[in-house]
Amino acid sequence: MNGLDKIIAQILDDAKQESLAIQEKAAGEAETTLAAAGEKVKKLEEEQVKSAAQREKSYEERLRSSAALKKRQAILAAKQAIIEEMLAAAHKELLAKPDEAYFAWMEQLLSRFVTDRAGEIYVSKRDLERMPDDFPAKIEKTAQEKGGSLVLKKEPREIDGGFVLVYGGVEENCSAGALFASQRDELADKVHAMLFALPVRSRQNNFHCDERGVGTARSGTSRAFFRKKVYRVRTL
């Protein structure tokens, strides 16, 4: 082998060694890259599983929250319905009172609303027809005690009960319906406190409240009892 052949052989040998080194380096880098990619894929899969679990948990929490809200709304609606029923029953019971008790209530109402001026008073057709003979005198006496006067008009008003006062052309509606309406929120609060702000089992009135606060009458306790209780808390 002459000198040129030796040089060429050396160059080829060096090139081969360098090529092997490059291949080994590339293989190592490829292995590192594949390992890193595998870790990324594994981490991504774990994150996806975790995210799916979180979404499922969030969905379950939303379902529970929605169910709890619907439960509260249903309980509230039930309470409101009971309150409305009790107020309506109290209103009806007031108007159905025997004449003596009803006109005694009218006297109390007069004492509250009559003023020291001269005026007129109107009642319903039903009350005009069943009014005790001495009641007009009681109306005038109550007005005089306040320093005023009242004339009972024979023209009936379209009211359910109670009366309408007129002073100087200005009317004050003191009918039963108007009084219940004007004090509805206050009366509803009182009924709510009486029916639902009780211990789980009341010893006083045989009334049972479950853990939701919804009250029910136990055996032997009639709704008339609760109507009576509601009527007693009225401020009319």
End-to-end CA distance of the chain: 132
Residue spans of the domains in the chain: they are 99-181
In this prediction the pTM is: 0.57
Sequence-separated (6 or more) residues with CB below 8 Å from residue 147: 116
One digit per residue, the tens of pLDDT, for the chain of length 236 reads 555 556 656 665 666 676 667 777 777 777 787 788 778 878 878 888 888 778 888 888 888 888 888 888 888 888 888 888 888 888 999 999 999 999 999 999 999 999 999 999 999 999 999 999 999 999 999 999 999 999 999 999 999 999 999 999 999 999 999 998 998 888 888 888 887 875 544 434 443 333 333 343 443 334 444 444 444 444 45
- Are 149 and 119 in contact by the 8 Å Cβ rule? The answer is yes
pLDDT at 190: 84
Options 3.40.50.1110, 3.40.50.80, 3.10.20.740, 3.30.2320.30; CATH of 99-181:
3.30.2320.30
pLDDT at 229: 46
- What pairs with residue 191 in β-bridges? none
- Are 68 and 76 in contact by the 8 Å Cβ rule? The answer is no
